[in-house]
Amino acid sequence: MSTAELKLDLIQKITDLKEIRIIEELQNLLDFETDRGIFQINPAQRNRILEAKNDDVLSEEEANLEIEEWLKEK
C-alpha cells in the first residue's frame, strides 16, 4: 500500500469514528509526533538523565530484584 493510499485509508477511518476519546487520543499522538518545540522535563527527570549519563544505573539483575520486592509489597 502506498503512502497516499495509507493516508486515504486513515482519513476514512478517522471520519468514521464516533468516540471523541479516540479522536482526542489520535490528536494527541499526532501533535506529539509533529511537535518540533523544546521538550520540557521536570527536575526529577533531569536528575535521572544525569544519573544515566554518569553510568549511575542498575544492572538488569538489580532492577529485577527491585521489581520483585515491589511486587511483593502490592
**HEC string for 13-70:** HHHHCCCHHHHHHHHHHHHHHHCCCCCCCCHHHHHHHHHHHCCCCCCHHHHHHHHHHH
Query: pLDDT at position 9, please?
Result: 97
Give pTM, 2 decimals. 0.45
User: For every one of its 74 residues, what pLDDT tens digit does the chain have, with 9 covering 90 and above?
Assistant: 899 999 999 999 999 999 999 999 999 998 887 777 787 899 999 999 999 999 888 899 999 999 999 999 97
Q: How far is CA 39 from the centre of its chain?
A: 13
Give the sign of the dihedral formed by CA 33, CA 39, CA 45, CA 46.
positive
Domain ranges of the chain: 3-34, 43-73
